[in-house]
């Protein structure tokens, strides 16, 4: 699924499933992170950003954490998983808006996405 479809919560998106079914779909989430990371790399040198994409990234950087921290949200995974997931969203939002990685190495975010994917597979 394309990033804009994820951000607009189209059918089959991580956000739609999270919001309406209270279900954290790990594979969809990894897709969202991967698409967002690709967008960060693609637009790094752009002075102008897409308003639709920017609004969606701004929204998810707050919504996902707040939604999953609610006391009634059913947590299928360890708390550490959700913390790392929300940290990655914030890192990617920073990368998108600031046009730089919050880390010394540009590949650190990709490493963190891989670790989260592995973390899930080990739970």
Between CA 4 and CA 52 the distance in angstroms is 8
Contact 35, 57 (CB under 8 A): no
In the numeric block, which tokens belong to residue 55? Answer: 């609004």
* Average pLDDT over every residue of 14-20: 96
Tokens of 92: 């990617």
Task: Write out pLDDT tens, residues 74-113.
Answer: 999 999 999 999 999 999 999 999 999 999 988 999 999 9
pLDDT at residue 120 in the model: 65
Does the pTM of the predicted model rise above 0.95? Answer: no
Query: What digits encode the pLDDT tens for the residues 36-83?
Result: 999 999 999 999 999 999 999 999 999 999 999 998 899 999 999 999
pLDDT score at 118: 87
């Amino acid at each position: 699924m394309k990033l804009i479809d994820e951000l607009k919560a189209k059918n089959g998106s991580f956000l739609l499933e999270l919001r309406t079914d209270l279900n954290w779909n790990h594979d969809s989430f990894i897709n969202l992170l991967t698409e967002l990371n690709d967008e960060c790399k693609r637009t790094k040198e752009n002075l102008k950003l897409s308003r639709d994409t920017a609004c969606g990234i701004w929204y998810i950087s707050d919504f996902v954490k707040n939604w999953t921290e609610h006391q009634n949200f059913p947590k299928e995974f360890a708390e550490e998983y959700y913390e790392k997931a929300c940290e990655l969203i914030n890192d990617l939002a920073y990368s998108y808006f600031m046009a730089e990685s919050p880390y010394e190495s540009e590949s650190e975010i990709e490493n963190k996405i891989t670790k989260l994917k592995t973390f899930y597979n080990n739970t």
